[in-house]
Amino acid sequence: MAVLVGKKAPKFSAPAVVNGGEIVNDFTLEQFVGKQYVVFYFYPADFTFVCPTELLAFQNKMKEFEARNVAVVGCSVDSEFAHWKWLTTEQKDGGIKGVKYPLVADQSKTISRNYDVLAGDFYYDEDGGMMFEGVPQSYRGLFLIDKEGVVRHQVVNDMPLGRSVDECLRMVDALQFFEENGEVCPADWHRGDKAMKPTQEGIVSYMSN
């Protein structure tokens, strides 16, 4: 598994569905550089079981992300048309209507491969035919990208294991607190808790906010 922390987030241009039902053909994360933080996350597939709980959980916290100047973007290997159908289907019928943040279509699986969250890989057989070994879907990868386009946090879950949106918000808070104050955040730090300030001698002391 590649560690992308500290590196520029891999670039891409791909179809996506935005605003809950508008298809665009050339969606890119570059539009956020210099303007917003980005939480870019992968999920295995549309019209499944754990996935809608995550997509809706992120939507339910959108006001909190927006207050922190964070854009949330989802991605799976489904087509933009599958995304559109899921986004326009009522929740009582298995859809996720009400989700407004962008969903990127990664049918080629190149985005998932570049972020190293694809649950398998392509190979050539003895006859030169292209084959796929594994599951042609993405693990539940999540990447927190700063305003310079650099990955500052990543986490990857296996497919059965749903993520914590509150933990994602906590990591956004920790990053922004560090950027604003130069103080580092200890284990289980939450906004309003004491942080830690490295001294010139290399000794770390607790500081109240």
- Residues involved in catalysis: 51
CA distance 80 to 184: 40
Is 12 in contact with 92 (CB distance < 8 Å)? no
- Residues 6+ positions from 164 with CB-CB distance below 8 Å: none
154's tokens: 């990543």
Closest listed residue to residue 37, CA positions, set 120, 125, 149: 149
Instruction: Name the DSSP letter for residue 92.
Output: G
CA distance 146 to 7: 11
